[in-house]
Amino acid sequence: MLGVDTNVLVRYLVRDDQLQFEKAQRLINREVRRGEPVLVSLLVLLETEWILRSRYTLAKAEIFAAISALLDATDVAFEDEPSVEHAIYSWNNSAADFADCLIEARNRRLGCRATATFDGKALKLAGFISV
């Protein structure tokens, strides 16, 4: 399996640089022909959401749709996909940041009974407790 960096994933999603998009697409297609999806790590996913939100000023609904489409794609695999699925749907229905939703989902999968935080928005999610 081949992992992709944030810049490859962003170019693949945003297509703002045609040459880099085509290279990313060829890379993904090559891996699929080999019978292997490309891997999106949790760190790459977090960074991608941040870049789409802050640099490209995409709306939450657009980012949700992009990540959901990646989750449905057979040519992309995620590190700890159940946590990603839980986080994306928690994020869609809350005011919390995507990073907080992913932290809570991942910690739960790692066996934590809760995640302690000072973040008021995160405290509205089940699974967070106040310090």
Last residue of a domain, one of 60, 79, 98: 79
In angstroms, how far is CA 114 from the centroid of its own chain? 21
Mean pLDDT, residues 115-127 taken together: 93
Q: Containing domain of residue 98, as a range?
A: 81-131
pLDDT grade for 79, boundaries at 50, 70 and 90 = very high
**Same domain for 102 and 127:** yes
Within 10 Å of residue 4's Cβ, how many Cβ atoms?
21
State whether 67 and 125 are in the same domain: no
- The reply to whether 74 and 88 lie within a common domain is no
Q: Are residues 22 and 32 in the same domain?
A: yes
Give residue 17's region: left, alpha or beta (phi > 0; psi -120 to 50).
beta
Q: Considering the chain, what percentage of its residues have pLDDT values greater than 70? A: 100
pLDDT band at residue 90 using 50, 70 and 90 as cut-offs: very high
Per-residue pLDDT, averaged over 6-13, amounts to 96
For 21-49, the pLDDT digits (tens) are: 999 999 999 999 999 999 999 999 999 99
Query: Which pLDDT does position 117 carry in this prediction?
Result: 96
Identify the band that residue 99 occupies on the pLDDT scale cut at 50, 70 and 90. very high
How many folded domains does the chain comprise? 2
Strands 2-3 and 38-40 turn out to be parallel
Percent of the chain scoring above 90 in pLDDT: 96
Residue 21 shares a structural domain with residue 74: yes
The token pair at 62 is 């657009």
Per-residue pLDDT averaged across 78-105, rounded?
Answer: 95
Q: State the pLDDT at residue 24.
A: 95
